[in-house]
Amino acid sequence: MTNFVVKTLANAAALAVAIWLLSGITLDDGSSTGRRALTLILVALVFGLVNLLVKPLVKLLSLPLFILTLGLFTLVVNALMLLLTSWLASKLDLSFHVDGFWTALLGGLIISIVSWAMNMVLPDKN
C-alpha cells in the first residue's frame, strides 16, 4: 500500500512540474488550492492506471520500433500515454488538458525525469 501511495505522489509531483513548465499542459480547476491538489492527485491516479494497464501492451506491440530506434520510441509512447490521460480526464470531468502531440512529447520527457528523481528520493517499501 505504501508503494502505491509513493508512486501516486511521485506521479502527482511529476505532473505538477510539467504543468508548471509547459503552457500547453493545464490543470484548470478554479478556485481553491485544495481542489487543485485533489484534481492533481486524481489525474495522477488516472496516469498511473494508464501506465499500468495500457503502456505494457503498447510497448509489446511496438517492439520493432523500440529496437529500430534504440529505445527512443519510448518518448513517443510516453507522449501517447499523456494524451490518453488527458482524454480520460476529460471523460471523467477532470480539468486536465494537454494541447497536442509536441507538448505531450515534452511533457512526457519532463514527467519521466521528475518521476525517476522522485522515486530515487522517496522510500520504496511495501
Global pTM? 0.88
Match 506491440 to its residue by C-alpha cell: 61
pLDDT band at 119 (very low <50, low <70, confident <90, very high): confident
- Segment 29-51, tens digit of pLDDT: 666 888 888 999 999 999 999 98
Phi, psi of 25 (to 5 degrees): -110, 120
pLDDT of residue 32: 81
- Segment 48-78, tens digit of pLDDT: 999 889 999 998 999 999 999 998 999 999 9
Q: How far apart are CA 41 and CA 34, in angstroms?
A: 11
pLDDT of 5 over the 80 cut: yes
Q: How far apart are CA 49 and CA 75, in angstroms?
A: 18
